[in-house]
């Protein structure tokens, strides 16, 4: 491959010379490059890789790069130099081993791997890397959980020079299905005179390539009717749906909450917001989950005091609460038909005085 460069229409084209990620620290250079520029690894869905964690500890191993994209797809990257023939053969088994170790891991353990010593939750870290109109909080965590449960990961070998052996393996796995293995080839070029550098990324094994504008995410406008239909389709019985409807209605009438509806396409969600808080802090999903947004109650002393009361409420209901709950957004399986009344009365008892009068949202 030839890369030519000029800085004006009248100038002569200058050929850039290949600059390899060679030497004993070549793989570390590849790793560092991707950690700092995760957008080099494009996705067929148009969603960016939000961030990578380098040298993430997994059992007795250290994964070169572990990350997640805006849709909640988990990405495992192993870096290898094309000149190391033995390493090329080993890397396929190595990355499959990492995937097998990650499969079945809980969301909490995975979150700790990615966030490390940060005070932020995985959800909060995601929010820092993508705008609200390009991201669905409703979809993110369920997709991460589903990936962990099924072992549905994106496996990528980052390499400085592609070879026929690795191409054949990737094409074979792509044709057979079941395991998604890709290679990201990164070729670097430089003009020694000016110091200008160029990087040429090429992905092999991607299921399909997106051409044209980046697609926007699907936004669904939920209301109670569509929520109830989706809940029935997801297997909730009539008693559970009736109890969630009672929860929805009494949040507005008895507890004078403003109802906020989610916009995700995977499942419906609604939550209760009051004047003292900046976001909906307790809600229900059409898959039957009860959700608490402890991590949204961080701004004022009133919010923080209510967060502690909400934590105690969850404990009294028999729900597990993490020690570092202040940054969490847990979703719980909940016995709606048996405990909805208790939940409402307990919630009413802990609300600060004079909550917001509900609007006409249904």
pLDDT tens digit sequence for 216-273: 445 567 899 999 999 999 999 999 999 999 999 999 999 999 999 987 767 789 999 9
pTM: 0.56
Residue 213 lies in a domain: no
pLDDT tens, residue by residue, 27-82: 888 888 888 888 788 765 556 688 888 998 888 889 999 999 888 889 999 988 76
Query: Domain limits at 278?
Result: 224-350
Residues 188 and 303 reside in one and the same domain = no
Same structural domain for residues 174 and 250?
A: no
Joined tokens for residue 221: 């406008």
Domain count, the chain: 2
Direct distance between the N- and C-terminal alpha carbons of the chain, in angstroms, rounded to an integer: 60
How many Å apart are CA 300 and CA 324, to the nearest integer? 18
Is residue 117 located within the same domain as residue 200? yes
238 and 172 co-located in one domain: no
Tell me if 248 is assigned to some domain: yes
Q: Distance between CA atoms of 56 and 112, rounded to whole angstroms?
A: 10
Indicate whether 155 and 25 sit together in one domain.
Answer: yes
Does residue 171 share a domain with residue 260? no
CA–CA dist 82, 354 (Å, integer): 66
143 shares a domain with 63? yes
What is the secondary structure of 43-92 as a DSSP string?
-TTSPPEEEEEEEEEETTEEEEEEEEETT--EEEEEEE-TT-HHHHHHHH
149 and 25 both lie in a single domain:
yes
């Amino acid at each position: 491959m030839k890369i030519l460069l000029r800085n004006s229409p009248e100038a002569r084209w200058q050929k850039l010379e290949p600059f390899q990620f060679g030497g004993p620290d070549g793989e570390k250079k590849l790793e560092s490059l991707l950690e700092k520029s995760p957008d080099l690894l494009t996705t067929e869905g148009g969603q960016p890789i939000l961030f990578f964690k380098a040298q993430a500890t997994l059992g007795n191993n250290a994964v070169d790069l572990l990350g997640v994209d805006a849709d909640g797809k988990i990405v495992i990257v192993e870096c290898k130099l094309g000149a190391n023939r033995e390493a090329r053969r080993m890397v396929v088994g190595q990355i499959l081993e990492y995937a097998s170790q990650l499969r079945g891991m809980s969301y909490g353990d995975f979150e700790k791997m990615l966030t490390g010593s940060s005070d932020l939750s995985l959800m909060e870290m995601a929010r820092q890397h993508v705008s609200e109109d390009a991201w669905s909080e409703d979809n993110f965590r369920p997709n991460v959980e589903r990936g962990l449960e099924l072992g549905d990961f994106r496996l990528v070998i980052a390499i400085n020079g592609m070879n026929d052996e690795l191409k054949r393996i990737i094409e074979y796995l792509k044709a057979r299905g079941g395991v998604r293995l890709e290679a990201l080839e990164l070729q670097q070029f430089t003009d020694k005179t000016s110091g200008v550098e160029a990087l040429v990324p090429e992905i092999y094994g991607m299921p399909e390539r997106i051409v044209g504008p980046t697609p926007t995410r699907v936004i669904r406008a939920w209301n109670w009717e569509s929520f109830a239909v989706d809940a029935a389709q997801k297997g909730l019985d009539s008693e559970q749906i009736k109890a969630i409807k009672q929860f929805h209605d009494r949040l507005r009438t008895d507890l004078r909450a403003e109802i906020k509806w989610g916009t995700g396409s995977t499942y419906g969600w609604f939550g209760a917001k009051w004047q003292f808080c900046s976001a909906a802090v307790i809600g229900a999903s059409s898959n039957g989950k009860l959700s608490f947004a402890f991590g949204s109650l961080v701004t004022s002393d009133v919010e923080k005091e209510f967060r502690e009361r909400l934590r105690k409420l969850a404990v009294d209901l028999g729900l597990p609460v993490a020690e570092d709950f202040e940054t969490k957004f847990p979703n719980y399986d909940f016995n709606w038909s048996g405990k909805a009344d208790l939940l409402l009365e307990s919630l009413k008892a802990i609300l600060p005085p004079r909550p917001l009068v509900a609007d006409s949202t249904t």
